[in-house]
């Protein structure tokens, strides 16, 4: 495939590419949440996306562009789960997929990959390199490597989230909050907002121990974070912003972090008041609002509920108030 730089025009093309396959998820509003934060909150419910997360958008945008010859060789990807399930949907375009996943991935995500027809290769996230394993498999099998965020088609596919939000919103957004791991979704959002709504402040939300984007913004260059304890936000544990995503995300207006306890409260709030199942990594923006990490009074805030794939056991602990983060 032709290599190109991620762009707003590419996001528009991605919207055409995924039309009719990806779900146009709703932009919802909750009087209960508005009352709590003292402003309007518009929530993009990507937990209702195909495969349960926004990742399907980028994965399909990338895989659907494979040539007939590339499809015969299959694809390989590395992911904690949501990108994995998106890539496993490669069966939709007639190719196979092998996914390199951490051995501590939530069971629901592993089962999701297998359910889509994907092959799973587990690894130890603390002692092994998923990039090295993925590259070795690609070399051995001749498969096409589909990275979770550092690919222009992935970034542009994720950017369709922001396109839809702007089309669905009945008012301009003062700010937009979104979680980030390697920054693919955030980069796609930034491409769109810079073109269509530059007055909207775009703010990244990260788990406390995985604040590499915040550290990079502070340092003025791409840096990682110290090796931290595991987080319930398994989808947001990338060690460093992507090489392609970081130059785009340098325009971020700010960064905030949230604790596991604050994230658990957001997951519980979504269950009780929004009637939605949202996984921890998908609830960090909601957690930032509920914990007062971002000013919301008198403002219109957009957030992305980016995924809904969570193990039943952990979900039960959280919604029943037994989780201690």
CA 5, CA 22: separation in Å to the nearest integer?
23
Whole-model pTM: value is 0.92
**Judging by beta carbons within 10 Å of its beta carbon (0-12, 13-18, 19+), is residue 23 exposed, middle or buried?**
middle
Q: Which of 212, 307, 300 is nearest to 267 (CA)?
A: 307
CB 314 within 8 A of CB 105: no
Mean pLDDT of the chain: 92
∠ CA 42-43-49, rounded to 5°? 145
Q: Which residues are catalytic?
A: 55, 306
Q: Does position 79 have pLDDT exceeding 50, yes or no?
A: yes
CA 289, CA 320: separation in Å to the nearest integer?
21
Q: Per the structure block, which two tokens stand in for 84? A: 């994995």
CA 278, CA 144: separation in Å to the nearest integer?
31
Q: Where are the beta strands (DSSP E) in the chain?
A: 27-28, 40-45, 75-78, 97-102, 119-123, 144-145, 175-179, 201-207, 254-258, 300-305
Of residues 2 and 272, more confidently modeled: 272
Tell me how far apart the terminal alpha carbons of the chain are, to the nearest angstrom. 44
Report pLDDT for 1.
Answer: 46
Report pLDDT for 115.
Answer: 83
């Amino acid at each position: 495939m032709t290599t190109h730089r991620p762009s707003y025009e590419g996001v528009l093309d991605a919207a055409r590419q995924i039309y009719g396959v990806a779900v146009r998820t709703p932009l919802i509003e909750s009087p209960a949440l508005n009352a709590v934060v003292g402003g309007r909150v518009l929530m993009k419910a990507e937990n209702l996306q195909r495969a349960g997360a926004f990742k399907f958008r980028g994965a399909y945008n990338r895989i659907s562009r494979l040539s007939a010859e590339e499809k015969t060789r299959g694809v390989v990807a590395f992911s904690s789960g949501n990108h994995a399930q998106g890539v496993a949907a490669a069966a939709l375009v007639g190719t196979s997929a092998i996914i390199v996943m951490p051995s501590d991935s939530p069971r629901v995500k592993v089962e999701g990959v297998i359910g889509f027809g994907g092959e799973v290769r587990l690894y130890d996230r603390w002692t092994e390199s998923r990039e090295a394993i993925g590259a070795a498999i690609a070399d051995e099998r001749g498969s096409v490597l589909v990275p979770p965020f550092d690919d222009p088609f992935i970034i542009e596919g994720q950017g369709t989230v922001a396109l839809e939000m702007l089309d669905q919103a009945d008012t301009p957004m003062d700010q937009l909050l979104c979680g980030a791991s390697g920054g693919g979704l955030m980069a796609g959002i930034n491409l769109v907002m810079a073109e269509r709504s530059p007055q909207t402040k775009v703010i990244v939300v990260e788990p406390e121990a995985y604040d590499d984007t915040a550290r990079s913004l502070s340092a003025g260059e791409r840096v990682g974070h110290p090796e931290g304890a595991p987080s319930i936000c398994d989808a947001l544990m990338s060690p460093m912003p992507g090489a392609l995503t970081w130059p785009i995300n340098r325009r971020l207006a700010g960064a905030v972090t949230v604790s596991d306890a604050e994230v658990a409260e957001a997951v519980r709030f979504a269950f009780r008041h929004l009637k939605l199942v949202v996984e921890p990594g998908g609830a960090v923006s909601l957690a930032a609002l509920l914990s007062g990490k971002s000013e919301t009074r008198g403002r219109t805030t957009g957030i992305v509920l980016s995924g809904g794939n969570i193990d039943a056991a952990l979900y039960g602990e959280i919604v029943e108030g037994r989780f201690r983060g």
